[in-house]
Amino acid sequence: MEIPYTSKPRPDTGLYNAKVGIWLFLASEVMLFGALFSAYILLRVGAGEGTWPHGLLSIPIGTFNTFVLITSSVTVVLGWASLQVGNFGRYKVYQAITILCAFGFLGIKSFEYRDKFKHYEVWLKNPITVHQGGKEVQTDRLLGHIEYEGHHPYFWNTARLAGSPEIKDKNGKVVKAAVARVESFKFQPDPIHYTMSPKEMAHAKKESFGHPHQEIEIKASDVKRLSAFVPSHSTFFAIYFTLTALHGLHVLGGAIVIFYIWGPGAKMWKTDPQRYMNRVEVSGLFWHFVDLVWIFLFPIIYLL
Amino acid sequence: MQASAHTDAHAHTHDAHHHEPSFLQKYVFSTDHKVIGIQYGLTALSFLLFGFFLMLCMRWQIAHPGQPVPLIGSLLEILIRNTDGTPLLAGGQMSPDVYNIFGAMHGNIMVFLAVVPLAFGAFGNYVVPLQIGAPDMAFPRINMASYQFYLLGGLTWFASIFIPGSAAQAGWTSYSPLASTIASYGQAFLLVGLVLLITSSLLGAVNFIATIIQLRAPGMTWMRLPFFVWAQFVTGFLLLLAFPPLEAAGVMQLMDNLFGTSFFLPTGLAVGGKIAEISGGGSPLLWQHLFWFLGHPEVYVLILPAMGVVAEIIACNTRKALWGYKSLVYSVLAIGFISFIVWAHHMYLTGMGTKISAFFQTTTMIISIPSIIILTCLFISLWGGSIRFNTPMLFALAFLPMFGIGGLTGLPLGFAAADLHLHDTYYVIAHFHYVVAPGTIFALFAGIYYWFPKMTGRMMNEFWGKVHFWGSFIFMNLIFQPMFFQGMAGMIRRMSDGGIQYAQKADAKLIGGLDKVYFDLHTVILWAAVGLAVCQIPFILNLFMSIYKGKKVTNDNPWEATTLEWQTPTPPPHGNFTKEPTVHRNPYDYSLPGAAKDFTPQNQP
Amino acid sequence: MSDHSHSHGEAHGHSPEEVSKHKKVYIAVFIALLIGTVVTVALNYLHFDSKALTIAIALFVASIKATLVACYFMHLISEKKMIYVILGFTTILVIALMVLTLTSYAAFPNGTVTH
Amino acid sequence: MIDSLIATFSKLLQLPVLASENGKPVDELIIYIHWLMIALFAGWFAYFCYCLWRFNSSRNPKADHIGARSHASSWIELFVAGIEVVILVGFAIPMWTRANDVTRLPDADKAVKIQIMAQQFGWNARYAGKDGEFGKQAMKLVNADNMFGVDPSDEKSKDDVTVYNDLHVPVGVPIIAYVGSKDVIHSFKIIAMRVTQDAIPGMRIPCWFKPTKEGRYQINCAQLCGNGHASMAGGYVTVESQADYDKWLASKAGGSTSFE
Ligand code: HEA
Ligand code: HEA
Ligand code: CUA
Ligand SMILES: [Cu+2]
């Protein structure tokens, strides 16, 4: 006996197997992202005054990426619709756009990530005076960029400032080279801090527009805590990176599947067109779901 | 349909179209649900044995604090090492760390690597497509991937015991912050393995549900499904929808452990006298919520397939229809649904307010009603039967009172006020072991004895089966019954010394120390556990020897059952049925008035 | 499980006219999604004084967009009953997860302190 | 009559000594539920054994397709779906009021208040001192020498008393314990008082008990908290007369405990 309903729908349910499968899978995905969104809400509601970073992500980039993803979503359905009328060439073109969009999205996202890894917050032991929003402000928490020996380093944290000794294994071979201690570093503070309200932040940005960055020297001994915008910076970045990375993995997975069906798997269009269309539809459903998740992700992490 | 000779010939011509499959294709990378089912079964049984072995070491430690583990102590000393390479079992004695490691691994292995894969992966895979008259699962290759992810996850856990610092030691519940404060990669291995296992069960669940929805044979309407299939169907949904939140939680805890985030770590945490270098701002309770959101449905994943197996065997061996088939089906659906909203009964003692705990107490009481209905239906099914006491039936019958004890003792735990005293004592241990060990495990034994002839064409030995049954039955009760008393008296679980420090410190003026009897019971339990182990030897021998030496079955339906799996050739060929079966009747048409035989198969017009 | 001629399953079941009608719907939805995005972002730059209002608007627009995607791109508007059942349960459960978890935090007795 | 039944049952079930007022409803609840459980089990088990004997295939070679039917079946169905539901749910509702009794906090003004801070592997406690009020506390003041985050500049904190593993409480007075932890989750449990409260880092959650018997009791940790979980048994509560308690409190100097 062969497995039935791989391409034709079962009469009483009206569905073919893969369609049932993908919807079940998506149901489980709903629970997965639902749990993460719950965690987001909880951490956010539970965050103390002035500890939840906001306004640190680039809204224009996020918006652009949203457009990219929406576009890819519409090309998927249009491609599938083209197959419905037997227009394989049209389908090929539409899906090519989808795949390009997918990788475009990931490219932009990785660019954003990179930017975060060398953007810092420093908590000082004693407040200092800096320009913020056109006036002099006393503060012990600064955002900004580090310059050290002419580089903008990635991933620094408090421990990095203290350096680390050489590590040798049993045979005396050096497994990890010594890292030199940092005495002091240059810091270019941003004109804003997330402890400001959105309005104050917008104001500060406007005021400082066109002014060059001021540069200060910070002694390592004055630093209470230093962290790049990495997951351990705060629960905000923790959930930001977790959610977007998981979403990114879905984008990647979806793109690979769509590419496989589009390229090497396209032979099936000749042998079993109905099943081929089913595959396109099913991969499309997954793709729309990924888009749908982003529709919620974008406002809650970029805007709120 | 009973003519095997004819089928064999057919199967052969059918196969001739394809290449003769190689050994690898046939047994290792098979996409045949029956082979995958057997793979699941053997792997899960091995893990079951291993989980039991860990527990034997622990029971020894509890009964003999400070003494080396006999026989294998020195071997363990070599194998299990600290992060700095020193042995964790100095002189073959289990340190508290090792006790915690074994405890956490026992819980995790038993639940995720032994019972679920056996009940869902093995029986579900082997039996469900046969019972609904399908040629295979809806997605055979995904089915294979499901097993492979399971194996990989299991091996990850197994391997983690031997890494420096050894495996996870924060209990199977992995509560944060404890799980994030132990200096070993054990917890990370546990979480990675967990993600693999969740992937496996996700693939499995999608496959099962899609198969049951789509591949039922003509005439196999929903209300003609054998109860076992219903149980698996609901179990599939539990796995599908309850596991993802744990996956999310697992990923977050992995981030906490490896990338220094603070999802579950609050501000101001100070471990070992130092303020932790973390951002803080997280919530330890969030982990508990996400864990138990899975945790509770998970326990029904452990029990529902077992109930399914028992129902099949009882119907067959009483030679009559199950009483209240519809009530059974609706109850199992109700359990499935309600099990998602009772989870916080594991968290009463976190101190959440009266209103929310009233809500969870209500749902907990409500969910015991469908369980009672299921059990009652099975009991009433006995009435008017003609009961055959073969080995599968003995195990199935024993399941009923054992589950009854386990289930009933769940009730006091379900009330926040009573749980105040019983929480985290051996009473809880006894409660759930009554459901999972003499409950589920007995049902699984029953299933093995029952379906063995279908898988191999030979019967298992009845005499040794009965020895296995009576030995297991007696020793199981000797192990778990005393725990109720210990727990009620206040003995707390997860004590590496069996609670002895309470007694030692009990100077004359101290009120409420534990009496010596409760510690003496440790010895009883230890020897009962050893007895239980010995009683498994006849089973293991019987299982493997019967494959070659067992009595050959004389026809495809040795138990004279009605469901479709018995209407195939033995063992069923690739593709299962020689021609698509058509279903004409209810699943349990035993002893129909006026019928020629006392059973009428579902595909008989 | 009424089966109209609408079913997407049947082989080449769609007449070209129908498909071009569908395509128009897809394009319309696409434009609606773009507009929705622009609206959310624009509103965000207005900086309402009420934080709750900002959140409510953003989530409202997002829900509309999500509904559009689900209904039209994913064809949920004309899907089979079985799918509705599955998704219905899922929705209930995900809401239960969120609501019960959050309320249980709110329900601690008086005197509970959380940092 | 009921009381002596309860006392006998308490022994039969191996319930440990009870030394608090709040523990009484807990024990009674446990006992009532066990009566119910035993009744259900005994009934079903008797029926079960009867079936196995009566419907053995040698005694009853021909099965009946339907089995229990007509009157019998509908009666049993009614009995099951009806009685058991009623007992359980009907039982449940009065129990919630009990649950309320157990967890509803007594009037804070009339109670002795203690802050508990669990750590691996022991119990810190802080008393409000003579003035009956705790000094101000803040998270940001928490450091290695000041684990309760007490504001030393606050007058009210001057007479606060902190102890390690050695608690004293007066008999016959409600005690409110605000339970927290500085590292992992522990659980504050005094078995004879029937009081249990998880100690969760980042939270401070109140629970209460009202001791009725003077003497020394052990504090147990009921939540897995690491390799010292089993030996986290060094904490004691001494229940004594009000006078002794006052004397003890006065003998303690103020200040705050540090980590280790
Ligand atoms: C298969 C597993 C399984 C099953 C089915 C159940 C079933 C139930 N469980 Fe259990 N439970 C666990 C596994 C299971 N549990 C585990 C593993 C834990 C501990 C986890 C941990 O902390 O590590 C736990 C812990 C646990 C707790 C938390 C305790 C604590 O930590 O303080 C609670 C509290 O409400 C509870 C309640 C219940 C209830 C009300 C049921 C109900 O569904 C039971 C309903 C059944 C009945 C009411 C029986 C009816 C029978 C009859 C009426 C007939 C009787 C007569 C004869 C048989 C002759 N369970
Ligand atoms: C499905 C779940 C399951 C099962 C089946 C078991 C089975 C058993 N468990 Fe376990 N247990 C747990 C789940 C389970 N347990 C969990 C979740 C915990 C809590 C952990 C924690 O604290 O975090 C726990 C904790 C726990 C404790 C408490 C430890 C403590 O708190 O300190 C104890 C103590 O005695 C115990 C004992 C046993 C025993 C004696 C069995 C026996 O019943 C074992 C029976 C097994 C067999 C008889 C083996 C049969 C094997 C074969 C027949 C092999 C055949 C093989 C081939 C053919 C290859 N378990
Ligand atoms: Cu502290 Cu267990
Ligand atoms: Cu539960």
- Cβ-contact A77, A284 below 8 angstroms: yes
Angle at B526 between CA B523 and CA B530, to 5 degrees: 140
Q: Is B303 in the pocket of ligand 1 (CB under 6 A)?
A: yes
Average pLDDT, integer, range B558-584: 90
Q: Is the pLDDT of residue B440 over 80?
A: yes
Rounded to 5 degrees, what are φ and ψ at A213? Answer: -60, 135
Q: Is the pLDDT of residue D128 over 90?
A: no
Task: Say how many Å lie between the CA of residue D184 and the centre of ligand 3.
Answer: 8
pLDDT class of B7 with cuts at 50, 70, 90: very low
The residues facing D170 across adjacent strands are D240
- Where are the domains positioned within chain A? 30-117+233-303, 120-228
User: How far, CA to CA in Å, does D126 sit from each of C113, D75, D116, D183?
Assistant: 16, 61, 7, 17
Model confidence over A135-180: pLDDT tens digits? 788 888 889 899 888 888 998 888 888 888 888 877 778 888 888 8
- Cβ-contact B220, A27 below 8 angstroms: no
Phi-psi map region of A69: left, alpha, beta (phi>0 left; psi -120 to 50 alpha): alpha
Neighbours of B579 (CB within 10 A): 9
At residue D136, the pLDDT reads: 75
Q: Angle, to 10 degrees, between the axis of helix B186-214 and the axis of helix B125-132?
A: 10
Model confidence over B283-319: pLDDT tens digits? 999 999 999 999 999 999 999 999 999 999 999 999 9
Rounded to 5 degrees, what are φ and ψ at A228? Answer: -70, 170
pLDDT class of C59 with cuts at 50, 70, 90: confident
Closest CA to D94 of D15, D174, D36: D36
Q: Which of residues 22-51 of C touch A (CB under 8 A)?
A: 22-23, 26-27, 29-30, 33-34, 37, 40-41, 44-45, 47
What DSSP letter does each residue of B161-203 carry, written as one string? TTSTT-B--STTTT-TTHHHHSSSTHHHHHHHHHHHHHHHHHH
**Contact with chain A for residue C53, Cβ under 8 A:** no
Rounded to 5 degrees, what are φ and ψ at B553? Answer: -75, 145
Model confidence over D199-256: pLDDT tens digits? 999 888 999 999 999 999 999 999 999 999 998 988 999 999 999 998 888 887 655 4
User: How far, CA to CA in Å, does B345 sit from each of B295, B340, B341, B427?
Assistant: 11, 12, 10, 15
What DSSP letter does each residue of A94-154 carry, written as one string? HHHHHHHHHHHHHHHHHHHHHHHHT-EEEEEEEEEEEEETTEEEEEEEEEEEEEBTTB--S
Q: Which ligand is nearest to the CA of D234?
A: 3
- Cβ-contact B168, B174 below 8 angstroms: yes
Interface of B with C (CB under 8 A): 213, 237, 241, 245, 266-268, 283, 285-286, 289, 293, 337, 340-341, 344, 347, 351-356, 359
Supply the pTM of this predicted model: 0.94
Rounded to 5 degrees, what are φ and ψ at C60? Answer: -65, -50
* Mean pLDDT of all residues belonging to chain B: 90
- Cβ-contact D181, D125 below 8 angstroms: no
Rounded to 5 degrees, what are φ and ψ at D103? Answer: -100, -15
Q: Is the pLDDT of residue D70 over 70?
A: no
Closest CA to B44 of B99, B109, B137, B127: B109
Helix (H, G, I), strand (E, B) or coil at B16: helix
Q: Is the pLDDT of residue D122 over 70?
A: yes
Angstrom distance (rounded) from CA D255 to CA D38: 54
Model confidence over A204-247: pLDDT tens digits? 888 877 777 778 888 988 898 999 999 999 999 999 999 999 99
- Where are the domains positioned within chain D? 2-57+70-103, 108-252
Q: Which ligand is nearest to the CA of B367?
A: 1
Is CATH 1.20.210.10 the classification given to domain B31-265+279-567? yes
Closest CA to B100 of B175, B12, B32, B11: B175
Average pLDDT, integer, range A256-267: 94
Model confidence over B220-242: pLDDT tens digits? 999 999 999 999 999 999 999 99
Q: Which ligand is nearest to the CA of D120?
A: 3
- Cβ-contact B350, D198 below 8 angstroms: yes
Average pLDDT, integer, range B583-589: 91
- Where are the domains positioned within chain B? 31-265+279-567
Angstrom distance (rounded) from CA B267 to CA C68: 41
At residue A167, the pLDDT reads: 83
Amino acid at B114: A
Task: Say how many Å lie between the CA of residue B57 and the centre of ligand 2.
Answer: 12
Model confidence over A91-107: pLDDT tens digits? 999 999 999 999 999 99
**Contact with chain A for residue B191, Cβ under 8 A:** no
At residue B86, the pLDDT reads: 85
Average pLDDT, integer, range A76-95: 93
Closest CA to B386 of C3, A3, D51: D51
pLDDT class of B442 with cuts at 50, 70, 90: very high
Q: Are B340 and C93 in contact (CB < 8 Å)?
A: yes
At residue C3, the pLDDT reads: 37
Minimal CA separation from A71 to chain C, in Å: 7
Angstrom distance (rounded) from CA B108 to CA B305: 19
Atom of ligand 2 nearest to the CA of B59: 35
Contacts of B511 in chain D (CB under 8 A): 17, 19, 192, 213, 215-217
What DSSP letter does each residue of D125-155 carry, written as one string? EEE-TTTT-PPPB-GGG-BTTBTT-B-TT-G
- Residue B268 has its nearest CB partner, among C107, C108, C115, at C115
Q: Which DSSP state fits B245?
A: H
Q: Which DSSP state fits B92?
A: G
Q: Is the pLDDT of residue C8 over 60?
A: no
Average pLDDT, integer, range B480-500: 91
Q: Which of residues 153-182 of D touch B (CB under 8 A)?
A: 179, 182
The residues facing B387 across adjacent strands are D56
Model confidence over B511-565: pLDDT tens digits? 888 888 888 999 999 999 999 999 999 999 999 999 999 999 988 899 999 999 9
Contacts of A71 in chain C (CB under 8 A): 30
Model confidence over B328-376: pLDDT tens digits? 999 999 999 999 999 999 999 998 877 888 889 888 888 888 898 899 8
Interface of D with C (CB under 8 A): 103, 105, 108, 139, 176, 178, 180, 202-206
Angstrom distance (rounded) from CA B244 to CA B591: 45
Average pLDDT, integer, range B95-105: 93
Query: Which chains contact B through at least 3 pairs of Cβ atoms less than 8 Å apart?
Result: A, C, D
Model confidence over A48-58: pLDDT tens digits? 777 888 888 98
Task: Say how many Å lie between the CA of residue B345 and the centre of ligand 4.
Answer: 6
Q: In CATH, what is the architecture of A30-117+233-303? A: Up-down Bundle (1.20)
* CA dihedral sign of residues B351, B353, B355, B359: negative
Angstrom distance (rounded) from CA A38 to CA B245: 10
Give the pair of three-digit tokens for residue B113.
């690597």
Question: How would you list the strands of the sheet with D122-127, edge to edge?
Answer: C113-114, D203-209, D175-181, D112-119, D122-127, D161-164
Q: In CATH, what is the architecture of D108-252? A: Sandwich (2.60)
Task: Say how many Å lie between the CA of residue D163 and the centre of ligand 3.
Answer: 18
Lowest-confidence pick of B85-99, B159-173, D136-150: D136-150
Model confidence over A17-51: pLDDT tens digits? 999 999 999 999 999 999 999 999 999 888 877 78
- Residue C108 has its nearest CB partner, among B293, B341, B353, at B353
